Amino acid sequence: MASEYKRYARALWLLAMLCACCALSGCRRNTAGGVNVMGSTSIQPFAEVLADEFNSRHPSSRIDVQGGGSTMGIQSVTNNLAQIAMCSRELKSSESRYLKPIIIALDGMAVVVHKDNTVSNLTREQVREMFVGNITNWSQVGGEDRPIRLITREEGSGTREAFAKLVMNNQRVSRKALTQESNGAVKELVRGDRAAIGYMSLGLVNDEAKIVNIEGIVPSTDNVRNGSYPLVRPFLFVVRMGAVLSPAAKEFLEFVLSPQGQHLLVEEGLVSVL
């Protein structure tokens, strides 16, 4: 019953967000040169960097970037509220029938803890057992005698769905986990709690949190690039198959995949697809 209520509440939230985005961006959608890019909060900061550079080079165009989550982005493109969706997970088979994914970069998924946590390495199985709720104390994995506090992402988050695939083997995250709506919120909770563990985009971690090695492999852009780090996902821009994109949208996609655009993403901590 509780899970049904959560799904219902999530559906209402998505509908409200779609309506709000429609109200905010509807006038821009039909303006020459205006392009709405909506979706993943993991990709959003990187897309904003790209949009700022593109807008400075093309003053007659306007790329507007909004978050809301990967599912929101997919819904936005499906309902013609955006020309481009940001999605931080692979498309589902049902979505692949009418949507075209464009890989713009690769991102490592970082497992993060408080910077004073003494645990520096975990296996995927240990992380999974933590988030399932079978490992409940840091002493069980070589750390302090302290209860583990789980931080997860919301339903519909591409980061959560990628974590479910890469770590959880689609087992459910414990109901005791605290749910957060963004990478920043996850990082903030981990920063202030010595018992916390969460997951987020590697490119968005700073020295406020400690990144745990996985299977003895250091999470780094080099190890994402060479394939040794096991928690890697694609960052996608998504468009409707057969959609007639505006000239500005086409130019923006070309810029993102150009050496200049890819260089910006590398500078921000992602791995180029070139």
Q: What is the pLDDT of residue 33?
A: 63
Is position 221 within any domain?
A: yes
Is position 186 within any domain?
A: yes
Q: What is the mean pLDDT of residues 124-138?
A: 98
Retrieve residue 34's tokens.
């205006």
227 band by pLDDT with thresholds 50, 70 and 90: very high
Is position 111 within any domain?
A: yes
**Do 204 and 128 reside in the same domain of the chain?**
yes
Q: What is the pLDDT of residue 73?
A: 96
Rounded Cα gap, residues 173 and 176, in angstroms: 8
Number of folded domains in the chain?
Answer: 2
30 band by pLDDT with thresholds 50, 70 and 90: very low
Q: What is the pLDDT of residue 156?
A: 87
Mind giving me the DSSP string for 167-219?
A: TSTTPPPPTTSEEESSHHHHHHHHHT-TTEEEEEEGGG--TTSEEPEETTB--
Burial class (CB in 10 A: 0-12, 13-18, 19+), 247: exposed
Is position 22 within any domain?
A: no
Is position 44 within any domain?
A: yes
Which segment of 18-27, 64-73, 242-251 scores lowest on mean pLDDT? 18-27
**Do 121 and 216 reside in the same domain of the chain?**
yes
pLDDT digits (tens, 9 = 90+) for 34-66: 899 999 999 999 999 999 999 999 999 999 999
**Do 83 and 64 reside in the same domain of the chain?**
yes
Position 26 pLDDT exceeds 70: no
CATH code of 82's domain = 3.40.190.10
**Do 244 and 210 reside in the same domain of the chain?**
no
Rounded Cα gap, residues 17 and 23, in angstroms: 10
Q: What is the mean pLDDT of residues 134-140?
A: 98
Q: What is the pLDDT of residue 170?
A: 81
32 band by pLDDT with thresholds 50, 70 and 90: low
Its domain, for residue 121, covers 107-225
5 band by pLDDT with thresholds 50, 70 and 90: very low
The DSSP secondary-structure symbol of 147 reads B
Is position 51 within any domain?
A: yes
Q: What is the mean pLDDT of residues 114-121?
A: 97
pLDDT digits (tens, 9 = 90+) for 151-199: 999 988 999 999 999 999 989 999 999 999 999 999 999 999 999 999 9
**Do 41 and 116 reside in the same domain of the chain?**
no
Position 271 pLDDT exceeds 90: yes
**Do 143 and 173 reside in the same domain of the chain?**
yes
**Do 122 and 210 reside in the same domain of the chain?**
yes
Position 9 pLDDT exceeds 70: no
